Amino acid sequence: MTDLAQYHTITVTPLAGAIGAEIGGVDLAVDLDDGVMAEVRQAWLDHLVVFFRGQHLDSDRFLAFARRIGEPVEYPFVRGSDQHPEIIAITKLPHETVNFGGIWHSDTTYLDQPPMATMLIAREIPPVGGDTMFANQYAAYEVLSPGLQAVLEPLRAINSSALADVSKTREDRVRDAGDPDAGRVFEASHPVVRTHPETGRKALYVNVAHTSRFEGMTEDESRPLLQYLFQHQVKPELTCRFRWEVGSLALWDNRCAQHNPVNDYHGYKRVMNRITLRGDTPA
C-alpha cells in the first residue's frame, strides 16, 4: 500500500512488512527542493532502504544526489574512476562465479567510522536473477528476549576485513582495480548493539561477513553466540528482496540494515555503480 498520510510530495510504497519501500514521483536527474529531500530522507529513515525506479543518471548527477544525503567517500579496496573516485563499479562478468560482497553484511564495519549509507544504481542487469536482499537490524534486536538484550548491550565486537568468506567475494574487483592498499587488513571494535544517531533506536550491529569475535573473548568462545545472532538477524520475516531494473537506484542505511546480493545469474553480466557516504563512530 502507499503511505499517503505522512508524505505530501512523494509516494512511498512499502516493499515488505519489516523493511524497504519504493519512492515514486521523484526525478533524481533534476535539483530537488529541500521539501522533497526532507521527505526522501524521512522515508529512508522510516524504511531503512528506499528504491527509485527509472533513474537514468550520469555519474555527475549520481554524485550530486548522493551529496544531498551525505558526504561521498572512497572505498578502501577498489579504486573509482579518475574523474569520479567516489564511484566504484560493482561488476560480475559472465565467466565469473563469485559476486562482489555476496554474503549478508553491513558495509565496511571493519573501519573505525563505517559508512552511514550506501547508494547503488543498476547499469546492466541479467535477464533474471541478481536481486538484493535487505534485513532490518532494529527488528532483529527488538525481538530478542530481554535477557539476551541485557547480555548483548555492554558487549563490543571485533570486525575485520580479512575474514575469508567475504574476502573471496571481492578478489576479482580488487585484482582489476590494482589498488596498492588492497592487501591491507582493517580491524575495528564496535558495540554489538548500536544506537542510531538520527532515530535513537537500537540495532543489532554484528554481521557474518566482518565480525570475528567479541572483544575480550577468543573466537572459539565467541562463536556459539555469534552464530546464533548471524542466523537470527536475517530471518525471512526481517527481510525484503528487491528486483533490479536498469535505472533502479537503492539507498540503504548501514547503521541499521544489512544486505546480501543474491548470486544466481552465472553466465550473465551485471554492472552496478556504488557510492558510500561518510559515517560516524558507532555508539
Distance CA 171, CA 102 (A): 12
Active site residue 274: yes
Three cell numbers, residue 204: 543489532
Three cell numbers, residue 123: 547499469
- What DSSP letter does each residue of 92-134 carry, written as one string? E-TT--S-TT-SSB-TTTTSSS--SEEEEEEEE--SS---EEE
233 backbone φψ class: left, alpha, beta (φ>0; ψ -120 to 50): alpha
CA 258, 262, 266 angle in degrees (round to 5)? 155
Rounded to an integer, what is the distance from CA 196 to the centroid of its chain?
A: 15
Active site residue 107: yes
Partners of 249 in the beta sheet?
52, 121
Q: Which one-letter amino acid corresponds to residue 280?
A: D
Rounded to an integer, what is the distance from CA 173 to the centroid of its chain?
A: 18
Active site residue 60: no
Q: Of the residues 79, 107, 196, 255, which is catalytic?
A: 107
Q: Of the residues 105, 173, 190, 255, which is catalytic?
A: 105
Distance CA 152, CA 158 (A): 14
Sign of CA dihedral 24, 56, 247, 138: negative
Active site residue 27: no
Q: Of the residues 170, 255, 259, 270, which is catalytic?
A: 259
Q: Of the residues 173, 190, 196, 274, which is catalytic?
A: 274
- What DSSP letter does each residue of 174-226 carry, written as one string? HHHHT-TTTT---EEEEESEEEPTTT--EEE---TTTEEEETTS-HHHHHHHH
The DSSP element (H or E) to which 136 belongs, if any, is strand 132-136
Write out the catalytic residue numbers: 105, 107, 259, 274
